[in-house]
Amino acid sequence: MDKVVLVTGGNRGIGLEICRQLAEKGATVVLTARDESKGAAARDTLAKSGFTVAFQALDVADSASIKALKTQLENEYGRLDVLINNAGIGVGNKKAMDADFSEVKEIMATNFYGPWELTIALLPLLRKSNDARIINMSSGMGALDSLPAGSYAGYRLSKTSLNGLSMMLAGELENENIAVNAMCPGWVRTDMGGQGAPRSVQQGADTAVWLALEASSSISGKFYRDRKEIPW
């Protein structure tokens, strides 16, 4: 049976490419996006290229939206094999001592609290899978040795927190056949990364798809870039 894979923030950039590659490999893909019109447009774009994906609206920063998605997945598929927490924002470039806390809270709500709440909400469906996997889209900017660089403090700390959550959940779910890993796509040419970035969306999406479908299910609690483990 095809794996049922949920991708948050799948309407553009790396998320859209992850959906495309997953569909190409035969997965049952559920693309989610906060904006319903943009999510539906992304689904239709993939369909024009011959790739069938489903679309469900989801705002990861909204508890009611998360609950509604869980119900929809339960009714439609009865289980979830892979959760890819890709949705994220990267506002602001302030240092920690100059932080705009309203901005920081917005970043954390989408990049950290949202994936955390969504993951916990979907655990009952992941537990129904024979090979469940959770993949958190992080960044090398969240690695501990990058933090002294300063700037983008809110974004960096949201990804450091996501890395920590990945490690915690990997440990807590160790005996439940649910692998949890984080990954860094590198600096990718997207709306967030900008056109000066050196990497394509295909390169940025590759490790997520590998972790979802091809990597050993014994791999858990790790941080990856280009299919290779990197330091936290």
Q: Which residues are catalytic?
A: 152
Number of CB atoms found within 10 A of residue 189's CB: 18
Determine the Cα–Cα distance for residues 34 and 83; give it in Å rounded to an integer: 16
Residue with tokens 């024979």: 130
Bin 78: left if φ > 0, else alpha if -120 < ψ < 50, else beta.
left
Contact indicator for 33, 69 with CB cutoff of 8 Å: no
In sequence order, the 6+-apart residues with CB closer than 8 A to the CB of 228 are none
3-state SS assignment for residue 228: strand
Determine the Cα–Cα distance for residues 114 and 118; give it in Å rounded to an integer: 6
**Backbone phi, psi, residue 170, to 5°:** -60, -45
In residues, how long is the chain? 232
